[in-house]
Structure 1
Amino acid sequence: MTQQERRHIAAGLAHGLSYAEIARRLDRPTSTISREIARNGGAHAYRPDRAHRATADRAHRAAPAPARAAGRPREATGDEIVEIVEIAVRSGMPRMTARVHVDLLLSEDGRRTPPSSRPRPWAPTTPPPAASPRPAPSWSASSTT
């Protein structure tokens, strides 16, 4: 949000406009205006310059976490992966979602692409049986009545 938009918010509040009306005039969602005002003192204490400085201060994040220790962490065993998936399922997560999350969690860089896929302990090791041909439906063109 720009400093000019923050000044428009302050002017709108001073004129008694609703959050929805301020949002409409700024072409912003009402929730954005509501959060901006709540984050910066509320409707009666909102000051645009102070809000702009506070937002800039909040934008400065702490230093990133230190890198992992040298060397590669050990690979999780199939039993450990299955156990983690089961814990997630018991907590209410759908099984497929739990599998994907665990796989991403344990991947080296937090993503997977087809070439980097590896066998999963829960995946079947044999291909599924071939489907048998379906019989023609009774309403097909071959049946005449």
Structure 2
Amino acid sequence: MDSLVRLLELAYSARSASISDVMYLGFQREVQEEEGWVSFLRGWGVYVADLLAYLDAIVRELEVCRERVSVVRFLVELRNGDDIVFADAITYFKSIREFEAQKLDNLHLFLQASVTHVVRRRQFVARFNSM
């Protein structure tokens, strides 16, 4: 029933009872939906890239603190064993960074496949329109 309703909605939107006009509009809408998805993926990729830059900055700061304990000791009160806390924190943030980097790599692969898929759909719509 859902397919019939969609078909009727497409026929009404196309302002035509011609099946080719209805199908063209349907395929065109699918391309627009896919382009929206690709746009979302690109935005998510920018977010993850920003997160990686932030994590890199945290790791660098922690490594500087670990290397220059005398400066840190001046700023905050350190106790015995705080050097282990620095090492654990660095390991923790490096593991998060590695996970986010892997996620970004996978996102780029998925985005590349999605863009290829959209290009194929556009080509199909263009061929369908020329008939």
Q: Provide TM-score, normalisation by structure 2.
A: 0.27
Higher relative helix content: 2
Looking at CA atoms only, which structure, 1 or 2, has the larger radius of gyration?
Answer: 1
Q: Provide TM-score, normalisation by structure 1.
A: 0.25
**More relative contact order, 1 or 2 (CA 8 Å, 6+ apart):** 2
